[in-house]
């Protein structure tokens, strides 16, 4: 429990720094992005190979800044009541093309109840987007992702399991570290952001994995009393 409190405290510090950095970088980046795009739209641009690389690198920077802004924003300032299972279904539908391209099947195992959460729907979608992205990236050719639920009195448990490459112990221990990534083009912010959003909802996020076999993400979300429909 003490280690968990430390982790949360580290998250808060990271978020504060993130807020400052993201705001300072965002405005100048908007100007640079605009000018580089203008150069690339000019067919007479003599620096074309270089400015095209600039545009793609700028896209990477903008992605990191966007991730940092998510980290720095209070999650619950825009709360509403929504169905968690339907929200996950929406993310899966948006993912459909990515699944098909890689021969990945994703099964959402519905339950009889339709638990409703009071929280930030866009943020929750971001969490499932991040987790499904990681699962897809962990699957080499074809594979399967299973999403299952268990509902106790006031808590919804969500299990997202893939049969991808899994992680060894040191990797598993490092997944919430800012910028930790084992991927060539990874930002290493996806799991940190997901953890932050779930903690903001007073929930917990845990990951279990067996290298070469599977990874399982376990999310506990507290629901309000009148959440069963
Ligand atoms: P990124 O995806 O940009 O690398 P993340 O924060 O999303 O950053 O993930 C951090 C690291 O955790 C990944 O680089 C990967 O090594 C590991 N990881 C996360 N999810 C999975 C998964 N489902 N299967 C295997 N490894 C994973
Ligand atoms: Mg990721």
Q: What is the pLDDT of residues 7-22, one digit of tens each?
A: 777 777 877 777 788 8
The residues pairing with 208 across neighbouring beta strands, listed in sequence order, are: 216
Query: Ligand 1 pocket, 182 CB below 6 A?
Result: yes
Q: Which atom of ligand 1 is nearest to the CA of 187?
A: 3
pTM above 0.90, yes or no: no
Distance CA 196, CA 176 (A): 10
Nearest CA to ligand 1 atom 7: 190
Question: Is residue 31 classed as helix, strand or coil in its secondary structure?
Answer: helix
Q: What is the pLDDT of residue 42?
A: 96
CA–centroid distance, 147 to ligand 2, in Å, is: 18
Over residues 72-79, the mean pLDDT reads: 80
The residues pairing with 206 across neighbouring beta strands, listed in sequence order, are: 218
How does the average pLDDT of the chain come out, rounded? 90
Nearest CA to ligand 1 atom 17: 175
Over residues 32-54, the mean pLDDT reads: 95
Q: What is the pLDDT of residue 78?
A: 81
Residue 88 region, left (φ>0) first, then alpha (ψ -120 to 50), else beta?
A: alpha
Query: Ligand 1 pocket, 166 CB below 6 A?
Result: yes
State what percent of residues in the chain have pLDDT above 90.
Answer: 66
Q: What is the pLDDT of residues 215-225, one digit of tens each?
A: 999 999 999 75
What's the helix, strand, coil split of the chain in %, to 5? 55, 20, 25
State what percent of residues in the chain have pLDDT above 70.
Answer: 97
Residue 199: name the closest of 5, 1, 2, 52 by CA: 5
Please check the confidence at residue 43 and state whether its pLDDT lies above 90. yes
CA–centroid distance, 185 to ligand 2, in Å, is: 10
- Find out whether 40 and 34 touch, Cβ atoms under 8 Å: no
Distance CA 88, CA 93 (A): 9
Q: What is the pLDDT of residues 159-192, one digit of tens each?
A: 999 999 999 999 999 999 888 999 988 889 999 9
Q: What is the pLDDT of residue 198?
A: 95
Extract the tokens encoding 39.
Answer: 């150069």
Please check the confidence at residue 209 and state whether its pLDDT lies above 60. yes
Q: How confident is the model at residue 1 (pLDDT cuts 50, 70, 90)?
A: low
Over residues 37-54, the mean pLDDT reads: 95
Query: Ligand 1 pocket, 72 CB below 6 A?
Result: no
């Amino acid at each position: 429990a003490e280690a968990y409190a430390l982790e949360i405290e580290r998250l808060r510090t990271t978020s504060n720094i993130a807020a400052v950095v993201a705001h300072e970088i965002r405005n100048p980046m908007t100007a640079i992005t605009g000018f580089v795009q203008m150069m690339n739209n000019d067919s007479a641009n003599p620096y074309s190979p270089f400015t095209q690389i600039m545009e793609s690198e700028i896209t990477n920077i903008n992605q990191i800044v966007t991730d940092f802004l998510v980290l720095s924003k209070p999650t619950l300032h825009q709360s509403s009541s929504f169905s968690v299972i339907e929200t996950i279904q929406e993310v899966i539908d948006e993912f459909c093309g990515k699944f098909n391209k890689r021969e990945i099947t994703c099964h959402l195992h519905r339950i009889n109840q339709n638990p409703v959460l009071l929280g930030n729907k866009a943020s929750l979608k971001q969490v499932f987007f991040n987790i499904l992205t990681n699962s897809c990236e962990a699957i080499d050719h074809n594979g399967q992702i299973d999403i299952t639920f268990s509902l106790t009195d006031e808590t919804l448990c969500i299990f997202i399991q893939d049969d991808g490459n899994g992680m060894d112990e040191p990797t598993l221990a490092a997944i919430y570290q800012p910028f930790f990534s084992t991927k060539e083009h990874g930002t290493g912010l996806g799991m940190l952001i997901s953890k932050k959003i779930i903690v903001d909802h007073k929930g917990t996020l845990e990951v279990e994995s067996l290298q070469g076999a599977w990874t399982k993400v376990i999310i506990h979300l507290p629901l309000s009393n009148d959440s069963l429909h």
